[in-house]
Structures are given as structure tokens and as C-alpha cells.
Amino acid sequence: MTFTSTSPKGTALVTGASAGIGAVYAQRLAKRGYDLILVARNAERLKTLADRLSAETGRTVRTIAADLNNKTDLLKIESVLRDDASITLLVNNAGIGSVASVLNSNVDEMEAMIDLNITALTRLSYAVAPVFAAKGSGTIVNISSVVGIAVEMLNGVYSASKSYVLSFGHALQRDLADKGVRIQTVLPGATATDFWDTAGLPVQHLPREIVMTADHLVDAALSGLDQGELVTIPSLHDKAEWDVYEAARKAMSGRLSNAVVAPRYAI
């Protein structure tokens, strides 16, 4: 499936685009002049959003109803990313979460979470990265979460999946930065979307002072992209905290492999 773009900015493909953060990304990117390919499971919601955005912005908005946990659907989106030369931006937003402990969660549901949060995001990134590298331009935005760092906060599989997205983003930056491809990893904190209903903790039960609107989250993330940030944490007020954390991680990285056992193990 191939689309053509009439926009000088090209086409942005957004997953999980029918509601919440993905829908706000779609609106903001259309206003920035991107044509859109919107991907989500709910075809009716997608069409309603696409019709509204086309009317509001005049941009070309196409939709693909796809379940990224379905291998056939996932391969279809991979083909779009490989074949449509107008695509200049991929927003890997689709994902699902949970607040349940390992003792109260279904392992099949956890596997499905891994398939969506990790496998689909990885495969879509792998599909588009060579295309962007070949033309020396393009942007991949991967939506992680603050629980990728604060891993004890929610369900362990969800936190681990978002730690993966953060780690994967670092590796993508290493591999693609010199090819002209931009990578941004966004770490939302608690955001007022229906994510929380699916996760098992309605957002109304969270302290209001920790919950950001999806509009503010996306606007901040796009501002971070404009500023050239590799990792954007919209709810972290003191960026120096992240800088110190990253500097410590990178400094320790050079000391993690050693032929000599650490003295504390007394071998």
C-alpha cells in the first residue's frame, strides 16, 4: 500500500492514533503541515478523526485499521513504511499497560503486552530505519514512559517493556545519527487518557497533581523534538537530574566489564 504526500514535510505515520496521545500527535502534526497515515484497531474512530483533521487543516489523512498484535496486520504496516517514500516521520505510540503484580496478572496478557510494546515497535523501527538511512533523513519518535526508569511504580512487564524502548532508542541513536536519522524517545508520566482504564486503575484514582493532559504532553514532546533532545521527559522540571543520571550511566558503562573480579567478592 503506497500513499503520496502533497506536503513538503512529507507524511507522518502514527500508531495508536485513534485516541489519547496518538490522536493528539495526529492533530499537532497535521497543523505542522504533515500529511498523515493513522494506524489503530478502531476503524470508525480513525475515520472520524481523519475527517475532522482533513477539514481543519486541509492535509491528506489516510487511515489503516490494523491490530499490531496480529502478524498479518503488522506486516502490512511494515510494508507501508518500506514502500512509501513520502514518509518522513514515524511515531511509535501504540502500547498497552497494567498495574497488576506478577501474582495477579495473566501471563498470556503479559505476552500480548510484550508483543505490542516491544515487538511491534521494534519491527516498525526496523522497517523504516533503512529507508530513512538511505535518503539521509527522517525521524523516529518512540513513546516510552517514566516507568522505564522508575521501574517499581507499575506492573513489572509494562515497566520492563518501557525500559526496553528507552534502551532501544539509545542504540538507534548510536546506529543512525550519522546517517541523518533523528531518534527521540519520549517518557510520559501519568497522562489523562483511557490508558489507565485498560491498565486497571482509572485516572480519577490518581493524585491530580501528577496527571498531565495529553495535549500538554504532546506539545512538550514536540518542543523537545524541536530542541534536538534525544530523550524528552515532559514532567521532569529539572533537566539537570536527567543529565546527571545519563552521565553516571555512561561513566559506569566503561567499568562494567573487567578480567579482575571486584574485591568485595573475595575470590
Active site residues: 158
Give the bridge partners for 184, in sequence order: 141
DSSP 136: T
List b or e across 16-41, with b for residues whose CB sees 16 or more CB atoms inside 10 angstroms.
bbbbbbbbbbbbbbbeeebbbbbbbb
Q: Which residues lie closer than 8 Å to 238 by C-beta, 6 or more apart?
A: none
Which residue type occupies 133?
A: A
Residue 151: φ, ψ to 5°:
-70, -15
State how far the Cα of 127 lies from the Cα of 193, in Å rounded to an integer: 28
State how far the Cα of 247 lies from the Cα of 139, in Å rounded to an integer: 25
Terminal Cα distance for the chain, rounded = 61
State how far the Cα of 123 lies from the Cα of 249, in Å rounded to an integer: 27
